[in-house]
Amino acid sequence: MVKLNIDGRMIEVAEGTTILNASRMLNIEIPTLCNHPKLTPFGGCRLCLVEVKGVPRPLTSCTTPVSEGMEVTTSTPALEDLRKTVLELILSDHPNDCMICEKAGDCTLQELAYFYGISPYNPPLLKGDKGGFLGERRIYEKRDGNPFIERNMEKCILCGRCVKVCDEIQGVGAIDFAYRGFKSKICPPFERDLDCEFCGQCVAVCPTGALTGKMWQLRGRQKDIKEVDTTCAYCGTGCNITLHVRKNEVVRVTAKEDKWNEGWLCVKGRFGYTFINSPDRLKKPLIRIAPKHIADFGFRISDLNSEVRNQQSAIFKEVSWDEALDYISAKLKEIKEKHGPDSIAGLSSARCTTEENYLFQKFMRAAVGTNNVDHCARL
Amino acid sequence: MSSVKIMVCMGPGGIASGGAEVISAFESELRQANVSADIHKGCSLHKVGCFGLCSKDVLVDLIIDGAKTTYQSVKPEMVRRIVSEHIIGNLPVAEWTADENYHNFYKKQVKVVLSDCGRIDYENIDSYISEGGYKAAEKVFAGMTPEAVTAEIKNSGLRGRGGAGFPTGVKWEACRKTAAGQKYIICNADEGDPGAFMDRAVIEGNPHAVIEGMLIGSYAIGASRGYVYIRAEYPLAVERLKYAIKDAHERGFLGSNIFGSKLKFDIQLKLGAGAFVCGEETALIASIEGQRGMPRPKPPYPVFQGLWGKPTVINNVETLANIPYIIKKGSAWYSSYGTEKSKGTKVFALTGKVKNTGLIEVPMGITLREIIYDIGGGIEGGKALKAVQTGGPSGGCIPANMVDINVDYESLARVGSIVGSGGMIVLDEDNCMVNMAQYFLQFTQSESCGKCVPCRIGTKRLLEILSRITKGKGRDGDIELLEKLSRDIKSASLCGLGQTAPNPVLSTIKYFRNEYEAHLKGKCPAAVCKELLTYYILEEFCKGCGACLRACPSKAITGEKKKLHKIDPAVCVKCGACFDVCKFKAVKKE
């Protein structure tokens, strides 16, 4: 354990803890943009600079490990002034179109600009008179053609979080830094369109509006949204997800860091929620009543025009769960008696939990009496 | 039988001035004259590294029976006379031999790192060995403990010659004390400052000194593997170093059981891809590891967590090339040169408006005046000295009135500049200081890695402000804004590149604020910034010859023959063609 002093308060933390994390234990707020608790420190945004007694220049608290007897000051007029300069510089190369930005209200950069009182449109708020540091801004007109992730690189502050999450958490490495100096940019190799797993982890960690979900656009900002915590139904992993609901419609899905999946999701959990309101979605059990060949046209019911769709009742009958289960049970018994238990096979699903899969094989062996049981993951 | 040794400079300057052609001229002339057979002279032709005085290249040393004659500015067509009159006739061609200026150039220099450069054949390991090469390594391996080696280097007072000036022995000792296991020594040959070519000259002229320095370093810190991180833009240095490493391997100086010990040491080359920031040690390590060359914050320092997370010492080329000489001649000898805190000698690339440009090695503490006037031969064209820029884009300028300053780490830092890696650019009254600051910012901005905000965007904004000032569009308060932003960039940037990038701006404002103010008022005192210039013709000098009229690409000049010509400022594109062509100095720019 290491003892140190932060803003006049003593704290004892484990060796290797960064100054930033030690400060957070004391509820001392240090502004950051590039730091993310689940990713290795980067040290690029330079907002978390602190003063350490005996060190001539300010140090980034996110990268500096604590040492015994260290005396840290997290806020001085000089430090706040440096932070303000850094923010002014970032905003001098930013579209500043918060009024139409998907991320407004949920944007770290916007929050910090607010707290530091910086507006590029209000020169008296800036240090440099007559427009402060306003100058050339990066303009990228080309948009990425991928179906899931909107990449607006003009809003990118090069904090590197997306690069790190893609590399360190997802193990994909689809993007990295390219070019040098002011032209530096984060992009897939050779600036091609993104072609990855589309897990959207990069979207989840982006502190600005540079990365957003394409299907989220113009569907509602954070303040109008009701958050509903639930479990993802896609696979047996059972990630905890949060549905963002506006006007009784799911408009995006996120995950919380304090849940067991640590805020991480895959492409299905994050972007695969449109089934909820899909007209194709089956909400009640259906029993076929028409002879098989009538339905055997190879089309989806939703594809039919309304006239034909009205005849859906002529093909399927909507029933209650009790009715449906009774029907299945009667049919299984009939087959078992007529052809023996081994004429029945069961195929289980990766979307079920381990417990459900256990019960399913138990049912097949004990109730049906066959070992013909398999799992979709083997297909 | 007498002996003739011909040494032709094949350093960067020598090659650029036609060294290879001079060598082939010698080869064919000697063959035609049949020197060896006819006059019984054992004649050998050697390619050697940089002599130093690049402005007089191609330099050729002719040593007949131990007596050395130097020829300067040798062209292939001059070779025939040298061979017939001097080598055969034993009478030096007096009009081509080095003049007094040449000898003055060397008078105040002290050559340690460069002592063998220009004297030995870089392609021949025996040439190095015959001058005492690998004796230092042998001494270390045979009878010195690693602790004794680090102590010797510490006592010598040698400090990192790459720019930061960190005591080399202290670095070695820290690495030595880390837990045993895999360690690395890296030679930083990613020399990138504009106008600097010290490391290049050392590697090209004496590659074995660098290898021997690394070998001694590996022994001192306990490293079995070494890397040379070298710019791919130095193909010649790469080639010569590769050749030298191969030779050293064959002689057993590298590989296993070095000097009969159980120790092994191998050197691998890693070619840089042209990023200036890769000279920064953590970025260099990332680059060797196959990552994008971006610095990471320190601590942890590479001495504790370096290449592949292992303890790593990174030394500059010049630092390492000093090591064999310090071990051979002793730390007391080395520290007899220099000042109290800056020991030994330093190599500088002297460029700009001095008469003698080239590579110099001087004892620390020599005055700037001695460098410029005694070694450099003074300012070209009788112009007045304005300032000296040291340390390249990370350094600052020293104004003419401070020319008696001692050149050492402390004195230069005190006036806002640095020794840096050794670039030294002499500026005269024709240089615009704002323009120069803009030039360096242009460089650092395009070489910023983009990782941290102050460097990526801050230097861009500095550059924008500077360029609007040089275009006459500066605003009130711009100078103060430059100062403020510069200070913030220095404090907030991640690595040495950003922390030093504003230095040229700050030091030019400090010493030449009046020039900045003049620009804000629409005048460039040195008449450099194009947008602020007006060209006009002086009535009393114009002869009406029409030369300017013919040279003008934009038809801005009018006038009849033998009558006064005039420039229409609205049409003039300020290209300066009229100024250059006028024989009567009638065109004036302001």
> What CA–CA distance (Å, rounded) separates B359 from B347?
7
**CATH classification number, B125-335, choose in 3.90.1010.10, 2.70.98.50, 3.40.50.11540, 1.10.443.10:** 3.40.50.11540
- Nearest Cα to Cα of residue B362 among B349, B378, B377, B380: B349
Render B408-438 in DSSP notation, one character per residue. Answer: SHHHHHHTT---TTSEEEEEETT--HHHHHH
Mean pLDDT of A309-315: 61
Take residue A226 and report the two structure tokens written for it: 């009701």
In angstroms, the CA A198 to CA A267 distance is: 5
**Residue B67: pLDDT over 80:** yes
Task: State which CATH number among 3.40.190.10, 3.40.50.300, 3.10.20.600, 3.40.50.720 fits the domain covering B345-428.
Answer: 3.10.20.600
Question: Which of A50, A108, A168, A182 has the highest number of chain B CBs within 10 A, making it the mutation to test binding with B?
Answer: A182
**CA of A106 vs chain B CAs: smallest distance (Å):** 22
The verdict on B446 touching A (C-beta cutoff 8 Å) is yes
- Listed in order, the ranges of chain B carrying CATH 3.40.30.10 are 2-98
B471 touches chain A (CB under 8 A): no
Boundaries of CATH 1.20.1440.230 in chain B? 433-520
d(CA A309, CA A304): 6
Query: Could you tell me the two tokens for A323?
Result: 């009715």
Q: Which residue has the higher pLDDT, B539 or A109?
A: A109
Which chain B positions have a beta carbon within 8 Å of A46's beta carbon? 452-454, 492-494
Q: Which of A129, A130, A181 sits opposite B456 (nearest CB)?
A: A181
Tell me what percent of the residues of chain B surpass a pLDDT of 90.
67
Domain parsing of chain A, residue ranges: 2-75, 149-215, 222-277, 331-379
Determine contact: B477 vs chain A, CB below 8 A.
Answer: yes
In 3D, which of B242, B161, B237 has the Cα closest to residue B200? B237
**CA B120, CA B129: separation in Å to the nearest integer?**
10
**Contacting residues of B for A180, CB less than 8 Å apart:** 275, 277, 446-450
Residue ranges, comma separated, of all CATH 3.40.50.11540 domains in chain B are 125-335
What's the pLDDT score for residue B510?
95
Q: Which residues of B are less than 8 Å from A182 in CB distance?
A: 445, 448, 450, 456-457, 460
User: What's the start-to-end Cα distance of chain B, in Å?
Assistant: 66
Chosen from A39, A83, A85, A186 to mutate, greatest number of chain B CBs within 10 A: A85
Give the best residue of B442, B451, B487 to mutate against chain A (max A CB count within 10 A).
B451
Interchain CB distance below 8 Å, A59 and B450: no
Name every chain A residue with its beta carbon within 8 A of the beta carbon of B492.
Answer: 46, 49, 58, 82, 85-86
Does the domain at B2-98 match CATH 3.40.30.10? Answer given as yes
Nearest 5°: phi and psi at B323? -55, -50
Minimal Cβ distance to A182: which of B456, B493, B499: B456
C-alpha to C-alpha distance for B134 and A144, rounded to whole angstroms: 59
Contacts of A41 in chain B (CB under 8 A): 297
Q: Does residue A76 contact residue A66 with C-beta atoms inside 8 Å?
A: no
Cβ pair A24, A12 in contact under 8 A: no
Torsion of CA B133, B136, B140, B146, to 10 degrees: -120
Q: What is the pLDDT of residue A350?
A: 81
Identify whether the C-beta of residue A116 lies closer than 8 Å to the C-beta of residue A87: yes
In angstroms, rounded to a whole number, what is the distance separating the alpha carbons of residues B578 and B571? 14
User: For an interface test with B, which of A46, A52, A186 has the most B Cβ atoms less than 10 Å from its Cβ?
Assistant: A46
Q: Which CATH number fits domain B433-520: 3.20.20.30, 3.30.70.20, 2.60.40.10, 1.20.1440.230?
A: 1.20.1440.230
Considering only CB atoms, which chain B residues are within 8 Å of A135? 460-461, 464
List of residues 6+ apart from B48 with CB closer than 8 A: B7, B8, B9, B10, B11, B61, B117, B118, B119, B120, B121, B122, B205
pLDDT of residue A218: 87
What is the percent of chain A with per-residue pLDDT over 90, rounded to a whole number? 69
Q: How far is CA B186 from CA B218, B310, B321, in A?
A: 10, 12, 13
Nearest-Cα distance to chain A for B188, in Å, is: 21
Cα distance between residue A311 and residue A291, in whole Å = 14
Which are the contacts of A258, defined by CB distance < 8 A and separation ≥ 6? none
The DSSP line for B13-41 is HHHHTTHHHHHHHHHHHHHHHTHHHHS-E
Q: How confident is the model at residue A301 (pLDDT cuts 50, 70, 90)?
A: low
Distance from CA of B287 to the nearest CA of A (A): 14
Each residue's pLDDT tens digit, A102-115: 899 889 999 999 99
Whether B291 and chain A come into contact, CB under 8 Å, resolves to no
For the cut 90, the answer to whether the pLDDT of residue B1 exceeds it is: no
Q: Is the confidence at residue B302, as pLDDT, over 90?
A: yes
β B2-9/B60-64 pair status: antiparallel
Residues of B in contact with A179 (CB under 8 A): 450
Structure-token pair, residue A65:
């490990």
Contact A89 B454 (CB under 8 A): yes
Check A49 against B477: CB less than 8 A apart: no
CATH among 3.30.70.20, 3.40.50.300, 3.30.2130.10, 3.40.50.720 for B534-589: 3.30.70.20
Strand A2-6, strand A9-13: pairing: antiparallel
More confidently predicted of B39 and B274: B274
pLDDT 10s digits, B403-417: 999 999 999 999 988
CA–CA min distance A379, chain B (Å): 39
Report in angstroms the alpha-carbon separations of A98 from A155, A210, A278, B130, B208.
Answer: 10, 12, 32, 73, 61
pLDDT above 80: residue A313: no
Rounded distance between C-alpha atoms, residue A247 and residue A226, angstroms: 9
Mean pLDDT of A45-62: 95
Which structure tokens are listed for B141? 């391996």
In B284-363, where do the E strands start and end?
312-316, 345-352, 358-363
* Residue A319: predicted pLDDT: 92
Residue B446: its chain A contacts at CB < 8 A? Answer: 180-181
Given an 8 Å threshold on Cβ–Cβ distance, is B460 in contact with A182?
Answer: yes
- For the domain bounded by A2-75, which CATH number is listed? 3.10.20.740
Output the average pLDDT for chain B.
91
Q: Which residues of A touch B (CB under 8 A)?
A: 41-46, 49, 57-60, 63-65, 78, 81-82, 85-86, 89-90, 92-93, 127-130, 133, 135-136, 157-158, 160, 176-177, 179-184
Q: What percent of chain B has pLDDT over 70?
A: 99
Residues of B whose CB is below 8 A from A109: none
Tokens of A145: 């053609």
CB contact under 8 A, A181 and B461: no
Of B301, B447, B457, B467, which to mutate for an interface test with A (greatest number of A Cβ within 10 Å)? B457
CB pair distance less than 8 Å for A44 and B453: yes
State the average pLDDT for chain A. 89
Decide if B532 contacts B470 (C-beta within 8 A): yes
Instruction: Choose among B464, B484, B488: nearest Cβ to A135.
Output: B464
Using CB atoms, pick whichever of B294, B464, B477 lies closest to residue A177. Answer: B294
Kindly tell me the sign of the dihedral angle through the C-alpha atoms of B5, B348, B295, B214. Answer: positive
- B143, B148, B154, B159: CA torsion to nearest 10: 40
Structure tokens at A358: 């256990």
Q: From the CA of B259, how many Å to the nearest CA of chain A? A: 42
- CB–CB contact B457 A177 (8 Å): no
pLDDT exceeds cutoff 70 at A269: yes
Nearest to B447 among A64, A129, A181 (CB): A181
pLDDT at residue B180 greater than cutoff 70: yes
Q: Which of B450, B452, B457 sits opposite A180 (nearest CB)?
A: B450
Q: A134 pLDDT band (50/70/90 cuts)? A: confident
The closest CB to that of A180, out of B449, B461, B464, belongs to B449
Average pLDDT over residues A49-78: 95
The overall longest dimension of chain A from CA atoms, in Å, is 91
- The answer to whether A132 and A126 are in contact (CB under 8 A) is yes
Residues of chain B within CATH 3.30.70.20 domain(s) are 534-589
- A200 contacts A149 by C-beta, under 8 angstroms: yes
Dump the DSSP string for B51-102: -S-GGGPSPEEEEETTEEEEE-S--GGGHHHIIIIIIIT----GGGB--HHH
Q: Which of A82, A157, A181 sits opposite B445 (nearest CB)?
A: A181
* pLDDT reported for residue A225: 87
Residue the block writes with tokens 């010598």: B156
Do A158 and B456 lie within an 8 Å CB cutoff?
yes
Contact A184 B299 (CB under 8 A): no
The per-residue pLDDT for B163 is 83
Tell me if chain A has a CB within 8 Å of the CB of B99.
no
Of A252-256, B84-88, B123-127, B395-399, the poorest mean pLDDT is in B84-88
The answer, yes or no, to whether residue A302 has pLDDT greater than 90, is: no
Predicted confidence (pLDDT) at residue B303 exceeds the cutoff of 60: yes
- The pLDDT value recorded for residue A292 is 59
* DSSP 8-state symbol, A152: -
Residue B85, burial from CB neighbour count under 10 angstroms (0-12, 13-18, 19+): middle
Task: Determine whether the interchain pair B453/A130 forms a contact, defined as Cβ–Cβ distance below 8 Å.
Answer: no
Question: Identity (one letter) of the amino acid at B293?
Answer: G
Q: What is the pLDDT of residues B231-290, one digit of tens each?
A: 999 999 999 999 999 999 999 999 999 998 999 999 999 999 889 999 999 999 999 999
> Among all residues of chain A, which has the CA nearest to that of B443?
A181
The pLDDT value recorded for residue A293 is 55
Higher pLDDT, A377 or B94: B94
Task: Count how many pairs of residues, chain A against chain B, have C-beta atoms within 8 Å.
Answer: 116
Q: What is the pLDDT of residue B88?
A: 84
Asked if B292's CB is within 8 angstroms of A182's CB, the reply is: no
- The 10s digit of each residue's pLDDT in A8-22 is 999 999 999 999 999
Cα–Cα distance between A288 and B208 in angstroms, integer?
A: 88
- CATH code for the domain defined by A222-277: 2.20.25.90
Q: Is residue B401 predicted with pLDDT exceeding 90? A: yes
- Provide the phi-psi class of A48: left if phi over 0, else alpha when psi is between -120 and 50, else beta: alpha
As a whole number of angstroms, the distance between CA B261 and CA A296 comes to 85
Q: Which of B99, B98, B106, B109 is nearest to B70 (CA)?
A: B98
- Enter the CATH code of domain A149-215: 3.30.70.20
User: Using CA atoms, how far apart are residues B497 and B512, in angstroms rounded to an integer?
Assistant: 23
